Amino acid sequence: MPSHIDIAVNLVGSALEKDLDNVIQRAVAQGVSPLIVIGSDLTESQQAIDCCHQHPQLLFCTAGVHPHHAKEWHSSSADQLIHLAQQPHVVAVGECGLDYNRDFSPRPMQRKAFAEQLAIAVELQLPVLMHERDAHEDFAAILQEYRSELNGALLHCFTGNRNSLARYIDLDLHLGITGWVCDERRGIELAELVPLIPDNRIMIETDSPYLLPRSMRPKPKSSKNEPQYLPYISEYVANLRGQCPNEFAKQAYTNSAEFFKLAWTYEAI
């Protein structure tokens, strides 16, 4: 059975938190391990770190402030994030970036929080896990200022267009693909773009509990997405790319392990 790393799981502060142990074990049973737990604000980042302590080697996490929470970024936030990001099990700064689709935080505050988190990633020489929705121009412009000094940059849940894909490839980003690509209503363009992502820059993720793949059959009884469904996404993406599913799974696993500087290799699993 192929092995997988789920690079973006909203395990805390979500519907999965109440069933955390079982979610992890169901994932392990399907060859999905470790999981990268996303920190969306400073409090949640600490909770993610605590979860990792309780499940060593099965969980790693990020520490950061999502653009939805950028309005909470204040004068002491940078120091708090620096402290969190240096804790064991933290493998990236994030989830940070820009979201102009929902504008839960004012755009100037989003841009400030994003830039300051990129600066922290540079200072700590940690990779960064990012979010961008309907904010391509500003996102790329801010990222461009820091990209040459960043030790790895990943745009998770990529759902952009051909032009944004070309720009992100030029910026040498890794790109995370979710079950969005399995949606016959809104994933059509992404399905056309997935084959254009370089082999060494593609990763896969569930972004659970969101984005349950619509094309799964039989359809899960619950509408909550889980890491256990990542193998389905992996095979779906492999088929779009015209690749052997096992070979694609190995490539995505290797990309993820190298990006997050995890100690083991695919062959050791």
pLDDT tens per residue across span 76-110: 999 999 999 999 999 999 999 999 999 999 999 99
Q: What is the mean pLDDT of residues 3-23?
A: 95
Gap between the Cα atoms of 78 and 96, Å rounded: 13
**Which structural domain range is residue 23 located in?**
4-268
Which pair of tokens denotes residue 160? 């952009």
State yes or no: pLDDT of 29 exceeds 80.
yes
Gap between the Cα atoms of 40 and 62, Å rounded: 9
Sorted by sequence, the CB contacts under 8 Å of residue 228 that are 6+ apart come out as 23, 26, 27, 29, 30, 32
207-263: per-residue pLDDT in tens? 999 999 999 999 998 999 999 999 999 999 999 999 999 999 999 999 999 999 997
Gap between the Cα atoms of 119 and 113, Å rounded: 10
174-204: per-residue pLDDT in tens? 999 999 999 999 999 999 999 999 999 999 9
Total domain count, the chain = 1
Per-residue model confidence (pLDDT) at position 266: 59
Per-residue model confidence (pLDDT) at position 96: 98
Instruction: Tell me which residue of 99, 113, 100 sits closest to 156, measured CA to CA.
Output: 99
State yes or no: pLDDT of 148 exceeds 80.
yes
What band does 265 get if pLDDT is binned at 50, 70 and 90? low
Q: What is the mean pLDDT of residues 115-140?
A: 98
Average pLDDT, the chain: 96
Residue written as token pair 């690749």: 243
CATH number of the domain encompassing residue 22: 3.20.20.140
Does the pTM exceed 0.75?
yes
